[in-house]
Amino acid sequence: MLDEPVPLSINGAPVKGPATAKITLVEFSDFQCPYCAAAIHPLDDLLAKHPQEYGSFLSIPAGHPFRCGMAAEAALAAHAK
């Protein structure tokens, strides 16, 4: 059984897909994680096959001990431009 949907503000976040998407996928990713890197292509395929149903939101987790802090900061800075 699934829990009820959780409201989540994605205002100002790096987003792929339409704002009117029925489903928002939240990706907590890390630039040094090989599993995160392996997830990119399946997620891109899903978004390409269902462009109106899915939106994707990326968040780099600040508390991950092995995250590449400078790369995460650079990605978020690039998004802000």
Q: Is the pTM of this model over 0.75?
A: no
What pLDDT sits at residue 59? 63
- For the chain, helix, strand, coil in percent to 5 are 35, 15, 50
Instruction: Check residues 67 and 1 and name the one with the higher pLDDT.
Output: 1
Arithmetic mean of pLDDT, 67-71: 66
Mean pLDDT, rounded, for 40-62 = 79
What is the rounded distance in angstroms from the CA atom of residue 34 to the CA atom of residue 29? 10
How does the average pLDDT of the chain come out, rounded?
Answer: 77
The set of residues, in sequence order, having a beta carbon less than 8 Å from that of 27 and lying 6+ positions away, is 39, 43, 56, 57, 58, 59
Q: How far is CA 13 from CA 7, 66, 74, in A?
A: 15, 22, 14
pLDDT of residue 60: 58
